[in-house]
Amino acid sequence: MSSVRVRFAPSPTGHLHIGNIRTAILNWIFAKKHQGAFVLRIEDSDARRSTRQSEQSILDDLSWFGLTWDEGPDKGGDYGPYRQSDRLAIYQEHLRRLQVLGKVYPCCKSDVELEEIRKTAIERGDPVPYIRKNLEASESELQVCACEGKQPGWLFEVPSCEIKWQDLVKGELGFDGGNVGDFVVVRSNGLPTYNFAAAIDDALMEITHVIRGDDHVSNTPKQILIFEALSFSVPRFGHIPMILGADRTRLSKRHGATSVKEFKEGGYLPEALINFLSLLSWSSESGEEILSRDRLINEFSFERMSKSSAIFDTTKLSWMNGQYIRNLSGDKFKELAAAYLGNIATDASNEEVLTKVLNLLQTKIDYLGQLPELVQPFFVDQIQPTEGEAIAISSRDSSQKVYWAFVRILSNYDHLDANVFRNIMKEVQQESGIMGKDLWIPVRVALSGRIHGPDLAAIAEILGKTRVEKFVRQLVD
Ligand code: GLU
């Protein structure tokens, strides 16, 4: 293994979001590319919001994607523990070091008071030393605090210099210490803040590259100050542009599915999602878009990463997922499809028909969640057009004319396959004078209940003569 060590550090407060998993994917790819270590750290120091259930669902999601980690809460490793709630003594120890070094000062204000003081001071343009004086607990405040059995919180004293780093994605970034402002490292309840815990963990876990979303850019100067104050070597930072919805606002529930769980349940394949998410803000040198995991690992580089936000294009994801579905072996497709088919898949008498139906649909669908609706018409006694437009089409005069002609011509044939079906449609056209959409869509509605779908001749062949005749007759007034 090389010296490269990256980490994915989710907070277990809910299901993984598409943005989180993209961060995990890029870290994993980077680790693989450099034969380094991919560390999983659970940031659960906020006990009120963190749950073991969420942690488990994160582990399950990562496993589903095949993003195996080298060290983590379930696996252990030389740099553990890997759950922040198990590292509280470590944060206390490093707080003591900061106290000895004179880098932090106590504060007895509540979070709300602290924010209020800071806000007013910023509005008034108060100089940093003045704000600090208002925040720092006096001897008497500390005594009152102690009498009430309370502990003070601890703030990091930010120097008034510029804090700069060479970001792997964004190039040189810098913040003025005065604008960063003193920040809490340990709260009065003894718990570390995110910035403190993350910096201590990254340092002790010897993380070499911190790759995360650019919503963390403003945290980085604070973390660099902690590294430097404690004489830890500062890792490289790479801030990945955030993902926006089609309307260019931050990707959220309003844009539809955003959690890994939703895509998993909708029948998206992990390989397709990895491919798609890697291509947000990054492109391969060849410009090719369907890239295997191995190619992503070989070809990934921060130099080819864009600095601007990426748009989450659901249509493109569906297209890409469709490509991956078509590349599955028939058996693998059938195995994955089973989870979407309920009883249909378990009824052995349907086996042959089901295989034909699935072969047909594998070339057509974009995600497995489309299957139930498309498979069902092959296994019912009556087709019920559900879409309003389909119902309207079936009762048009011209459609009725098509149905009558179809049923009559079909009776001249003793069996029905795709070729016979096409011949019948030609004859129906000649007899009724109806052609194009007005000819084909009513028949599609009769055989599937829908106005779009896979090749109609293939559908007819699978259904067979008896059921085709029955379904068309059912729509004749
Ligand atoms: N727990 C933080 C998050 O989920 C981690 C941020 C980081 O990678 O430093 O946003």
Question: How many Å lie between the centroid of ligand 1 and the Cα of residue 100?
Answer: 28
- Judge whether 202 lies within some domain: yes
Q: Tell me, what CATH number does 444's domain have?
A: 1.10.10.350
CA distance 206 to 363: 48
pTM of the model: 0.91
Q: Which of 190-204, 283-297, 380-394 has the lowest mean pLDDT?
A: 380-394
- Judge whether 161 lies within some domain: yes
212 lines ligand 1 (CB under 6 A): yes
Rounded to an integer, the average pLDDT of 219-224 is 98
Report which of 119, 182, 178 is spatially closest to residue 155, judged by C-alpha positions. Answer: 182
Answer yes or no: is pLDDT of 11 > 70.
yes
Nearest CA to ligand 1 atom 5: 9
Structure confidence at residue 133 as a pLDDT band (50, 70, 90) = confident
Among the three residues 209, 240, 271, which one is the final residue of a domain in this structure? 240
Answer yes or no: is pLDDT of 2 > 70.
no
Q: Tell me, what CATH number does 220's domain have?
A: 3.40.50.620
Answer yes or no: is pLDDT of 413 > 70.
yes
pLDDT of residue 348: 58
198 lines ligand 1 (CB under 6 A): yes
- Judge whether 81 lies within some domain: no
Q: Which of 321-325, 378-382, 434-438, 457-461 has the lowest mean pLDDT?
A: 378-382
Nearest CA to ligand 1 atom 6: 9
Dump pLDDT digits (tens) for 422-477: 999 999 999 999 999 999 999 999 999 999 889 999 999 999 999 999 999 999 87
Element (H, E) at 27: helix 18-33
Answer yes or no: is pLDDT of 164 > 80.
yes
Answer yes or no: is pLDDT of 197 > 70.
yes
pLDDT of residue 258: 87
Nearest CA to ligand 1 atom 10: 10
* Contact between residue 460 and residue 421 where contact means Cβ atoms under 8 Å apart: yes
217 lines ligand 1 (CB under 6 A): no
Tell me how many domains the chain contains: 2
**Three-state DSSP class for residue 274:** helix
11 lines ligand 1 (CB under 6 A): yes
Of ligand 1's listed atoms, the one at least distance from the Cα of 213 is 8
- Judge whether 13 lies within some domain: no
Of ligand 1's listed atoms, the one at least distance from the Cα of 23 is 8
**Given phi > 0 = left and psi -120 to 50 = alpha, else beta, which region is 110?**
beta
Q: b vs e for 53-75, b when ≥16 Cβ sit within 10 Å of the residue's Cβ?
A: ebbebbbebbeebebebebbbee
Among the three residues 207, 240, 273, which one is the final residue of a domain in this structure? 240
Among the three residues 216, 240, 264, which one is the final residue of a domain in this structure? 240
- Judge whether 62 lies within some domain: no
pLDDT of residue 24: 98
pLDDT of residue 389: 82
Question: How many Å lie between the centroid of ligand 1 and the Cα of residue 257?
Answer: 21
Pocket test for ligand 1, best of 40, 214, 216, 243 (most atoms within 8 A of CB): 216
- Judge whether 267 lies within some domain: no
Domain interval for residue 150? 87-240
Question: How many Å lie between the centroid of ligand 1 and the Cα of residue 45?
Answer: 12
44 lines ligand 1 (CB under 6 A): no
Rounded to an integer, the average pLDDT of 21-43 is 97
Q: What percent of the chain has pLDDT over 70?
A: 99
Answer yes or no: is pLDDT of 256 > 90.
no
- Judge whether 276 lies within some domain: no
- Judge whether 332 lies within some domain: no
